[in-house]
Structure 1
Amino acid sequence: MRMQQLITVTAAALFGLTAVTACGSDTAGSSVDGALSGQIPAKNGGTDGSGGSDGDGKSGAPGLPKAGTMAKAAQIVSTYADCGGLSTDPNDDDFFPGDEIYDQKWSVTERGACGKGTRIFMFKDLKTFQTAYKAQLDEDRKESPNKGHRGKFLLGQDFAVLPDQKPVIRNAIKPGGLLILNCHPDFNPPTGYRKDPALVKGCVLTDYFED
């Protein structure tokens, strides 16, 4: 799949997306924070701000889809974007260097790659995953204070997605879809967008991003 990777990286360069790099505390490859490099608010994804809950109102994953398996997660992602050629083999050319940092400390149990640079991470515990991201971001912000201002992961209840293309993000955060995990202390979306408390203090789940 090396030719497919070359096409993905070339397209990313043409549209101003973050190119795949090797390793680093923010990991290789694109993310919500990396792909969305502009400053103009996108006119989509907004709701009445009422949020909701997953039954008990304390889940930290209001209305988010639950996969259970990597196959199901890929099926959910495929409703937002191309998720063909799913692979869970770390030796596959589609895997991103550095993604191995998302391990047991993040509660990650399985990593997958599909479509045009989309990565999927299955995890056991949502709070553990959010805690790990918050800790990483706090450390990164010591050198780059604006790091993570646009968020990073698209979250379901038991899986996270790192897309490489803006259309995936736009489609995924529509009502009933995924939400962006944002733990930046200065994040404050316009009224009408979701800012649901996450399970970790200082983090929220939102459907707002800067295009």
Structure 2
Amino acid sequence: MHIKRFPAVLAALLCLATLSACEDGKKPAPAGSAAAPASSASPAAGTSPAVPAGLAEAQRYVQKYVPCEDMSTDPRDRRLPRTGLTTVGKWSVTERGVCSDRTEGAELIFYMASDMKEFQAGYKKHVQEKRAGDENYGLFSRVFVGKNFAVTPTGPKAALALSRSDLRILTCHPSFWAPKGYKQEKALVDYCVLSDFVHAEDGTGSPNFETPTDPAGGTGGPEKPGQPAQGSLGLPSAAGMAELKKLVHPHTVDCTTMSTASEDVAVESIDYRPAVSGDPRTLGITQRAVCGNTGGAQRAHDLNWLDVVGDMTTLQRRAKAAQQEDLKDGRLSATTSRLLVGENIAVETNDESVRFGLYQLQFLALECRPGFKAPAGYRLERAKVEGCVLTNYEG
């Protein structure tokens, strides 16, 4: 396990612009030769692709984010869509290939382009022509573009995975605008944009964080029975770190080994990450401690962070931003901690049993997923930030 001690130096990212268009349908089994070995490796955050020298290198980059097996350049490959986006010789495309994401039963179509501006101009014209018969064509683009290649996944999970890469989705529809929390950049041609927002008509795309979350559990309906119209049914508090430890240890959070040293508090690992990282003073936290084994000669394990909070609004705002970034691929990471808050205290943990014990102590989790609702019998209260609620429901 690699242990990181923060604050870390931010790695300079070489941004690879991206372009993508929907190519519909699932295709039968492939017919063609593999260009590169399959891989399902998880990407390292901030991985910056070099400009691939060819299709095989482009495939290897994409494989860092999504499976891409059995690459073929055969134009007769049955996995290619019947009405392809474009072909070799058009839009400066020098090579076209297709590979399979067998985990989703989907395909990824690659286009190597000698002139990305010409490619984007070709796609823009293609969208304009198609919109004459279908005004929504291009609004839900899946054309991911880089410096000299494009890839169009046919599956929603592959699209969400690629949205975490340095590729960007090329959209040339006048109605498109990336919601708050997502990147939107100028494309190489006018009236097109590049973004990391996977727009989907059926709701399988990136979460829209501008969708309001209603503490009443519905839109325009009455408050949930038993929930306060204002304020809270009650949250725990503590006068300081010693009192917070006494509140949660040893029955809920094991703080047999506990440290407030800055180098220990800043420890993260591939299995344990706090809900919010950084200098505690910038997070609204006045005192922070970590319970558990922070590593050293052994693997870090059982990490839980305790916070005495001076500015709960700032902490929740920063936690909301971190949660929304984590949600961009459609799900919360299992290794990232959830933030459970009291009046002036908080605990950050990714351990479900610890969270259950904290709910018994009347802590509530900050929940910022769009449209989140809790069934009757669970607490659901207003958070300090818009678009989030406090709850003890983890559905």
Tell me which residue corresponds to 1:143: 133
What SS does structure 2 have at the residue aligned with 1:106? coil
Question: For 2:144 and 2:162, how far apart are their aligned partners in 1?
Answer: 8
Tell me which residue corresponds to 1:67: 52
State which of 181, 185, 191 in structure 2 corresponds to 1:196: 185
Tell me which residue corresponds to 1:108: 93
Aligned residues: 153
State which of 134, 150, 165 in structure 2 corresponds to 1:160: 150
Question: For 2:49 and 2:131, how far apart are their aligned partners in 1?
Answer: 28
What SS does structure 1 have at the residue aligned with 2:194? strand
After superposition, residues 56-95 of structure 1 pair within 5 angstroms as 66-95=51-80
Q: 1:68 to 1:101 in 2, by over 3 A?
A: same
- Deviant stretches of 4+, over 2 Å: 17-21, 63-66, 91-105
Question: For 2:83 and 2:137, how far apart are their aligned partners in 1?
Answer: 18
Higher helix share: 1
Q: Work out whether 1:97 is the aligned partner of 2:82.
A: yes
State which of 171, 187, 190 in structure 1 corresponds to 2:161: 171
Tell me which residue corresponds to 2:195: 206
State whether residues 105 and 128 of structure 1, in contact with CA within 8 Å, keep that contact through their aligned partners in structure 2: no
Question: For 2:50 and 2:191, how far apart are their aligned partners in 1?
Answer: 23
CA-atom RMSD, angstroms? Answer: 2.2
Q: What is the identity, as a one-letter code, of the residue corresponding to 2:198? A: F
Q: 1:167 to 1:98 in 2, by over 3 A?
A: same
Question: For 2:77 and 2:179, how far apart are their aligned partners in 1?
Answer: 41
| Cα distance, 1:18 vs structure 2 | 4.2
Q: 1:178 to 1:65 in 2, by over 3 A?
A: farther
| Cα distance, 1:101 vs structure 2 | 3.5
Question: For 1:142 and 1:98, how far apart are their aligned partners in 2?
Answer: 17
Return the structure number with greater relative CO, CA threshold 8 A, min gap 6: 1
Q: What is the identity, as a one-letter code, of the residue corresponding to 2:189? A: V
TM-score (norm 2): 0.36
Q: What is the identity, as a one-letter code, of the residue corresponding to 2:55? A: M
| Cα distance, 1:107 vs structure 2 | 0.7
Q: Work out whether 1:181 is the aligned partner of 2:170.
A: yes
Tell me which residue corresponds to 2:25: 19
What SS does structure 2 have at the residue aligned with 1:201? coil
| Cα distance, 1:20 vs structure 2 | 4.9
State whether residues 65 and 178 of structure 1, in contact with CA within 8 Å, keep that contact through their aligned partners in structure 2: no
| Cα distance, 1:173 vs structure 2 | 1.1
Question: For 1:90 and 1:100, how far apart are their aligned partners in 2?
Answer: 13
| Cα distance, 1:19 vs structure 2 | 2.3
| Cα distance, 1:64 vs structure 2 | 6.7
Question: For 2:142 and 2:159, how far apart are their aligned partners in 1?
Answer: 11
TM-score (norm 1): 0.66
Q: 1:18 to 1:108 in 2, by over 3 A?
A: closer
| Cα distance, 1:180 vs structure 2 | 0.3
State whether residues 106 and 123 of structure 1, in contact with CA within 8 Å, keep that contact through their aligned partners in structure 2: yes
State whether residues 144 and 170 of structure 2, in contact with CA within 8 Å, keep that contact through their aligned partners in structure 1: yes
Could you report, residue by residue, the CA deviation over 1:40-88 in whole angstroms, capped at 9, with x for unpaired residues? xxxxxxxxxxxxxxxxxxxxxxx77521210001101111211111111
The percentage of counterpart residues that share the same residue type is 34
